[in-house]
Amino acid sequence: MIEIFYKKDGQMMVSQSETDFAIINYDDVIWIDLFTPSGEEKRAVEQFLGTTIQNRAQAEEIEISSRFSETDKAIFANTSFLIPGPDEYAEETVSFILIDNILTTLRECPLKSFTDLQRRLMAFPKIYDSGHVAFLSILENRIDLDADMVELVSKEINQYNRKVSVGEDISEEFLIDINIIQENTMLIRENIIDKQRVISSILKSANYPKEYQPRLNVLLKDISSLINHTDFGFERLEYLQNTVLGIINLDQNKIMKVFTLVSLMLMPPTLIASFFGMNVSFGGFFTNSGWAWVIIVVMMLLSFYIIFRVFKSRNMF
């Protein structure tokens, strides 16, 4: 699918056919959005712009350090956009090409940032006089969405922190949920840093208009703030995880303590019962007495009580 946004008589127009390149003035084009394009659509854009557009596989294989490149008249940038899911986030690679005043994007998944930009282009055509403004608008919207995700993760951390504070039962699923939040936090941080790297590279580019540098600097400040928030969130998760593990260890220690004390209290009665249960003659000791078993039981109970009182006096219960 292809969507060509261009201006005509002061109004923003949109075309969804690559054949319209023949009737569209090059200087009027603002944005060319390629969403899972066909071979014909991609070749038509390449011919119109006079450059080669990389495919999805090439964009994903590019190393992080090489996701930004430029020529004498073009800027090529690749970055990842996060798509929130029920439990985990998915990454979608997006390619940006800036040639003259035209922005070209290549993607394989519907993204809210692009949908919002399409709506604003039609509603406020005077604001978007070049592809550079459209590019900045996508980044600003995307960073706002990243901030929403950071805030959502922070709320989830608060919920789990309350569960620990009120003494809610902690199970294996609880630890798994914390681990999932940690993975999501790390993914958000890596994604934000990737955008920081792209924006920093654009600031150094001679092809990008200097008039937009203040907006790029504001984006970098917002990104730095988000990185600090994600770092703080990750520290909270580590503290929460350590707290949960400490509570689990305390519970296990209590159980082991109970087993140990019960075993110690039963040792004297067991010794008495074993002693008098031996198949050995005691020279008439308790042999002819009908109360022998009663006396032995009393000795066992008395030894148990003495051990119990000793442990109780030392606050071991």
Taking residues 175-182, report their average pLDDT: 83
Expressed as residue numbers, the domain containing 302 is 255-313
Q: How confident is the model at residue 281 (pLDDT cuts 50, 70, 90)?
A: low
User: Global pTM?
Assistant: 0.74
For residues 274 and 157, membership in a common domain is answered with no
Last residue of a domain, one of 201, 221, 248: 248
Same domain, 274 and 216: no
pLDDT of 236-265, one tens digit each?
888 887 877 777 777 777 788 777 777 877
Identify which of 94, 130, 91 has the alpha carbon closest to the alpha carbon of residue 215: 130
Examine the domain organization and report whether 261 and 205 are in the same domain. no
List beta partners, residue 77: 68, 96
189 plus 130 within the same structural domain? yes
Question: Across residues 215-232, what is the average pLDDT?
Answer: 91
- Asked if 270 and 162 sit in the same domain, the reply is no
Please state, in angstroms and rounded to a whole number, the distance separating the CA atoms of residues 25 and 32.
13
Query: Do 203 and 61 reside in the same domain of the chain?
Result: yes
Q: Give every CB contact of residue 306 below 8 A, 6+ residues apart in sequence.
A: 268
Count CA atoms closer than 13 A to 55's CA, side-chain side: 6
